[in-house]
């Protein structure tokens, strides 16, 4: 692929890349932009250690040519937590269940899980199998990973419920009470004027 000059976002920030369009995204993230959370495992998209999100979908960064990403949104494990530092439900679940052993594959495992929950907030066992089967763990922590996926789904649902509660309209404590017809001397409604404040 020829030299390209493109822009796309990484963890919400706009990045500009100029170079070989065939360069795998993995090496741009790690070597050019200092984001080492995305790991090199196999180089052929078979192990999942390099999993990132591209437009919300799990993708293997080692086989994604950077030249195909113009105008798209990439998210790495460094961008999983909220901007205020709050952990993503997946990160919290991984900590609660003490999932990592050597830890090398876990960034990719968490990114695969986060993509799953984004599209299937209440995953079945079959959903988990389908989403996670391409992410290999040489330490064999699969039982802990599965428990953590279920816990992450619970935390994800709780966070969604809290967000919906916070978004509900709240009654204004400073609102001017509406006068009744009796209080206004049975005046027609058109004669009632709302209170105003001087500018």
Average pLDDT of the chain to the nearest whole number: 86
User: Is the whole model's pTM more than 0.85, yes or no?
Assistant: no
CA gap 38, 23 in Å, rounded: 15
Task: Report angle CA 108, 109, 113 to the nearest 5 degrees.
Answer: 115
The Cα angle at residue 75 between residues 69 and 81, in degrees rounded to 5: 165
pLDDT tens column, 135-146: 999 999 999 999
CB contact burial 113-135 (16+ within 10 A = b; e otherwise): bbbbbeeeeebeeebbeebbeeb
Measured in whole angstroms, how far is the alpha carbon of residue 17 from the centre of its chain?
23
Q: How far apart are CA 30 and CA 46, in angstroms?
A: 19
Cβ atoms of 67 and 21 within 8 Å: the answer is: yes
pLDDT at 2: 85
- 116's tokens: 């799953």
List the chain domain ranges: 1-79, 80-165
Q: Which CATH superfamily hosts domain 1-79?
A: Beta-grasp domain (3.10.20.30)
Task: Quickly name the fold that domain 80-165 has.
Answer: DNA polymerase; domain 1 (1.10.150)
pLDDT digits (tens, 9 = 90+) for 100-116: 999 999 999 999 999 99
Angle at 43 between CA 40 and CA 44, to 5 degrees: 140
CA separation for the pair 149, 170 (Å, rounded): 34
């Amino acid at each position: 692929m020829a030299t390209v000059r493109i822009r796309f976002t990484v963890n919400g920030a706009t990045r500009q890349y100029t170079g070989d369009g065939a360069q795998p995204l993995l090496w741009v993230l790690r070597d050019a932009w200092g984001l080492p959370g995305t790991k090199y495992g196999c180089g052929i998209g078979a192990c999942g250690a390099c999993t990132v999100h591209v437009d919300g979908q799990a993708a293997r960064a080692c086989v994604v040519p950077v030249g195909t990403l113009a105008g798209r949104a990439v998210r790495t494990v460094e961008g999983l937590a909220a901007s205020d530092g709050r952990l993503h439900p997946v990160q919290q679940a991984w900590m609660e269940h003490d999932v990592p052993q050597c830890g090398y594959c876990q960034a990719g495992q968490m990114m695969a899980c986060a993509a799953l929950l984004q599209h299937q907030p209440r995953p079945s066992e079959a959903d988990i199998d389908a989403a996670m089967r391409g992410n290999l763990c040489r330490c064999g922590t699969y039982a802990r990973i599965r428990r953590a996926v279920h816990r992450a789904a619970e935390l994800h649902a709780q966070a969604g419920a809290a967000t919906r509660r916070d978004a509900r309209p709240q009654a204004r404590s400073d609102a001017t009470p509406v006068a009744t017809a009796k209080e206004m001397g049975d005046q027609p409604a058109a004669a009632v004027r709302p209170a105003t404040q001087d500018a």
